[in-house]
Every structure is written in structure tokens, then in C-alpha cells.
Amino acid sequence: MEYTKEDLSEAKRQIESTLHKLRETIKTFEAKEHPEKYRSQITLAKRRVRAFEIAAHLIEKEMESN
């Protein structure tokens, strides 16, 4: 499927925004009094961060090749 530069740029912008929010969420959970209570939420957020980092990287590569 073909995407315009504008599509890719907007997708990357949205991913970066979501990454920022996820990273802040992780900080919040880890700063709580008993962060071990939030281990599953922290793990999920970290996995999502990694997935979005991969997506952003792939979008960058696609933008460079166009």
C-alpha cells in the first residue's frame, strides 16, 4: 500500500505523541508508593513503547526511501 509523505509524517507525529504519553505513564506508575502493584501496567506500557518505537523507525525508513 502506498502512503503520501504527509500521511507518513502525520502518523509519525501521532506515534511520537503517544510515546511521550506512555513514557510519562511509566514514570507515574514507577513513582507510586508501591510500584510492584502496577507491574503489569508498567510492563504493558513498556511493551507498547517498544512497539511504537519500531513503528516510528519503520516510518522514518519509508520516508527516507521515497
The confidence score (pLDDT) of residue 51 equals 98
The confidence score (pLDDT) of residue 62 equals 95
**What ranges do the domains of the chain cover?**
5-65
The pTM score is 0.90
Q: Which residues, 6 or more positions from 36, have their beta carbon under 8 angstroms from its beta carbon?
A: none
Specify whether the CB–CB gap between 56 and 16 falls below 8 A. Answer: yes
Half-sphere exposure of 10 (CA within 13 A, CB side): 5
The confidence score (pLDDT) of residue 66 equals 75
* CA–CA separation, 52 and 45 (whole Å): 10
Across the chain, which has 66 residues, the per-10-residue mean pLDDT values are 94 98 98 97 98 98 90
The confidence score (pLDDT) of residue 49 equals 98
The confidence score (pLDDT) of residue 1 equals 83
Other beta carbons within 10 angstroms of residue 22's beta carbon come to 19
Specify whether the CB–CB gap between 29 and 42 falls below 8 A. Answer: yes
